[in-house]
Structures are given as structure tokens and as C-alpha cells.
């Protein structure tokens, strides 16, 4: 099998580093280059990951790459995806897929029209703990699903994440999508309504940093989700992803990042939880590389990404109106 040549469009998102490392580790992939509208940042990343820096997105897309990873600010996902599709390159796009439903639909359609694949970066699906939870639920271990409780709580990331014109929102758009996708994946049901309470009570800035969502799914299942940047600066880890499911015959729970050690860091004057467990980002990259190489459908589609975005956008509408919002938007 020929190695899949992958380019990276932007190093803006913090996940870009792990994705690039995973490509370099993959036996059937080549990190062929990076382009970034911040030349200093892009050149530094290229040097760090031993790849070529391209001085424009157009130059990288015109090269002999097969696919791209888009890790830009959220607002640029649409433009970069459409450019990649026009160039005939497969796309792995960082979450959230888009900041509006219109943009998400345009991205999906452009990739279909160009005959290229669009995959949404939801690495949590590749957590062995999550895979086992889903298998147990689908085997009927806890009976019929009644309700779910999820969390994605973390540190406020700063930077462009809190610049609304670049991010499209704060903690709610940033953290809702991961667990919403897991809820859809484990139940096989689509969300049909959202009620949300959202605020900025942690940092008291213009961006939202805490939210509590109640999501109703087709068939009557409901889930609650704490989607927030509620952890203080001194918290031992960046955040969490947890999911607890209650069924007619029992309860099952998953704490995705519980594999860690405690480090007492005198240099940084902080206690840290260092993850030693499974590399879910590598699982994501492996799935994407395999799909591109073999011509098989990607495991997590653009439609999956858009469905999760719609829940976040409905949450903002619900908070504004103080009423539940029906889905799809």
C-alpha cells in the first residue's frame, strides 16, 4: 500500500501537534507539509515535526498530497475545506465542524461534489473505554437506555478560543460536540430538542465559559451535559470526558482519561495528572489514513460533525429564549 501523503492546514488548534505526531508515527502515512497564515508559527511547527513549510495554503494544496488535516480557527473551517475539496484532497477537519449550519452543509456538499471524503475529528470514539461501553450497551447489558449524563469540563484555553469572531462561541461550542457525538454514537438516536442554561460565571468575560444542557433524543431518551471551562488554572489536568448511562437493568459509566499518574512539578509549581493511557488521537489518524488508502467511507462523517454542532447552536438559542429548541434547526 502506498503511503498516504498528508498536509496540515494551520497549526492554530492545540490538537494539531498531536495529530502531526500521530501522522509521523503511522507506518502508512507521510507528513508532507504544513501551511499556516501565521508564518512564524507554521515554520516552527514544520521544523519541530521535520516536514516542509509551504508559504500558502494554495501551494500546499497544489502539491502531491492526498489529504489534509484542518486545524485552523473554527471560523476558517469552511473556506479551507472548500479549497481542499476543489483541489481533490480528502479532509479531516477539527471539531467543531463549523460555526453555522449553513457552513457545515456547504462543507459536506463540496466534498461530495468533489468525490473526496470529509471526516470530523472526534477522537473520543477511539477510546477503548468508550468502545467497551458502547459494546456493552448495544449487547443489552443494562437493558433499555433511559438517560445519560456526560461531562466535558476543562481549563479556559485562552487565545483565539475566546475571540468570538474566530471561535464562533465559548465553552459550549467547544465542549458540547464531543460528548454529544458519543451520545449519538452509543444510542443510534438523533437529538430532537435542547434546553440550556449558559453563562460566563467563571471568568466574567464576554465569552461563555459554563453551560448545562438537557438533550432529548428520538424515542424519549434524554441526556444532561456539563460543557464548561470551569476548572481553575491550578487544576491538575486540562479536563475530562465522562459518560454515565442508566438503563432498565443497570448503570454503566466511563471516565475516558482516568489513566494517569500524579506529578509534583516544583519547576512549574503545580501538581499535574499526566495521561499514560491509550492514544486516541492516533486512533483517529489511523482510521482516516486507512479510509483514504483503501477508499472506504470514513468512520465519522461530516454529517456526524454537523449533528453535534446543531446541538451546540440550539443550546445558544435556548439560552437566549429561555425555552427548549427543537432539532434539526
Residue 77 CA to residue 246 CA, distance in Å, equals: 36
Q: What is the pLDDT of residue 79?
A: 98
CB-based contact 14:26 (threshold 8 Å): no
**pLDDT value, residue 1:** 65
Distances (CA, A) of 173 to 164, 168, 200, 287, 319: 11, 7, 14, 25, 13
**Structural domains of the chain sorted by starting position, each given as residue range(s) with its CATH number in brackets:** 4-123+281-300 (3.40.50.720), 125-278+309-326 (3.30.360.10)
CB neighbour class for 323 (10 Å; exposed up to 12, middle 13-18, buried from 19)? exposed
d(C-alpha 95, C-alpha 124), whole Å = 12
Give residue 202's pLDDT: 93
The closest of 180, 41, 60 to 120, measured between CA atoms, is: 180
Q: Give me the pLDDT at residue 200, please.
A: 97
Q: Can the peptide bond before residue 328 be classed as cis, meaning omega within 30 degrees of 0?
A: yes
- Give the CA count within 13 Å in the CB-facing half-sphere of 126: 18
Residue 308 has φ and ψ, to the nearest 5°, of -70, -40
Q: Please list the pLDDT of the chain residue by residue as tens digits (329 residues).
A: 679 999 999 999 999 999 999 999 999 999 999 999 999 999 999 999 999 999 999 999 999 999 999 999 999 999 999 999 999 999 999 999 999 999 999 999 999 999 999 999 999 999 999 999 999 999 999 999 999 999 999 999 999 999 999 999 999 999 999 999 999 999 999 999 999 999 999 999 999 999 999 999 999 999 999 999 999 999 999 999 999 999 999 999 999 999 999 999 999 899 999 988 899 999 999 999 999 999 999 999 999 999 999 999 999 999 999 999 999 99
Amino acid at each position: 500500500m502506498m503511503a498516504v501523503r498528508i498536509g496540515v492546514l494551520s497549526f492554530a488548534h492545540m490538537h494539531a501537534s498531536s495529530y502531526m505526531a500521530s501522522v509521523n508515527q503511522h507506518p502508512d502515512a507521510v507528513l508532507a507539509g504544513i501551511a499556516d497564515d501565521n508564518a512564524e508559527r507554521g515554520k516552527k511547527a514544520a521544523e519541530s515535526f521535520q516536514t516542509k513549510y509551504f508559504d500558502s495554503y494554495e501551494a500546499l494544496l497544489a502539491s502531491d498530497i492526498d489529504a489534509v488535516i484542518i486545524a485552523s480557527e473554527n471560523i476558517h473551517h469552511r473556506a479551507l475545506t472548500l479549497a481542499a475539496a476543489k483541489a481533490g484532497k480528502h479532509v479531516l477537519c477539527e471539531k467543531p465542524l463549523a460555526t453555522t449550519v449553513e457552513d457545515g452543509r456547504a462543507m459536506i456538499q463540496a466534498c461530495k461534489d468533489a468525490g473526496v471524503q470529509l471526516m470530523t475529528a472526534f477522537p473520543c470514539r477511539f477510546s477503548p473505554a468508550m468502545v467497551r461501553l458502547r459494546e456493552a450497551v448495544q449487547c443489552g447489558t443494562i437493558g433499555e437506555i433511559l438517560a445519560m449524563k456526560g461531562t466535558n469540563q476543562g481549563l479556559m484555553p485562552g487565545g483565539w478560543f475566546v475571540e468570538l469572531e474566530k471561535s464562533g462561541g465559548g465553552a459550549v461550542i467547544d465542549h458540547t460536540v464531543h460528548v454529544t457525538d458519543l451520545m449519538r454514537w452509543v444510542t443510534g438516536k438523533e437529538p430532537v430538542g435542547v434546553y440550556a442554561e449558559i453563562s460566563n460565571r467563571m471568568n466574567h468575560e464576554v465569552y461563555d465559559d459554563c453551560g448545562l444542557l438537557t438533550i432529548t433524543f428520538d424515542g424519549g431518551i434524554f441526556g444532561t451535559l456539563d460543557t464548561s471551562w470551569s476548572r481553575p488554572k491550578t487544576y491538575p489536568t486540562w479536563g475530562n470526558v465522562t459518560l454515565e448511562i442508566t438503563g432498565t437493568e443497570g448503570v454503566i459509566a466511563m471516565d475516558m482519561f482516568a489513566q494517569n499518574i500524579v506529578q509534583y512539578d516544583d519547576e512549574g509549581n503545580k501538581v499535574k495528572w499526566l495521561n499514560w493511557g491509550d492514544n486516541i488521537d492516533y486512533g483517529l489518524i489511523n482510521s482516516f489514513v486507512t479510509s483514504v488508502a483503501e477508499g472506504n467511507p470514513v468512520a465519522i462523517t461530516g454529517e456526524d460533525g454537523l449533528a453535534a454542532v446543531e446541538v451546540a447552536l440550539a443550546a445558544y438559542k435556548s439560552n437566549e429564549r429561555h425555552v427548549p429548541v427543537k432539532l434539526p434547526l
